[in-house]
Amino acid sequence: MLVLSSSQKAYEYIRGKLLAGDLPPGTQLVNRALAGEIGVSCVPVREALSRLSSEGLVAQVSGMGTYVRRLDPQELEGL
């Protein structure tokens, strides 16, 4: 049985919601709210959002938070 780390669990959950379109472009991603949904602390969510930002799925705006990016069709196809 495969056991995911808290960070991996948060990453898979958020990425899945992004790719399914459950989080519309422009939506602010709030660490505490996501942590509660996933059942982990805020640290794994922060790590997951950082990873998703490096992949270009979300945008981290200094002092404002993390938001779902609007992807063009070519970017979506690449995923």
Q: How many CB atoms lie within 10 A of CB 71?
A: 16
**What pLDDT is stored for residue 74 in this prediction?**
63
pLDDT tens string 22-78: 999 999 999 999 999 999 999 999 999 999 999 999 999 999 999 999 866 665 555
Domain annotation covers residue 35: yes
Q: What is the reported pTM?
A: 0.85
Domain of 26? 6-78
The CATH number of residue 37's host domain is 1.10.10.10
For residues 1-15, give the mean pLDDT: 88
Q: Residue 72 domain-assigned? A: yes
Instruction: Map tokens 């970017």 to a residue.
Output: 75
Give the distance, in angstroms, between the CA of residue 31 and the centroid of all CA atoms in the same chain: 10
Helices (H), 1-79: 6-20, 31-38, 42-54, 73-78
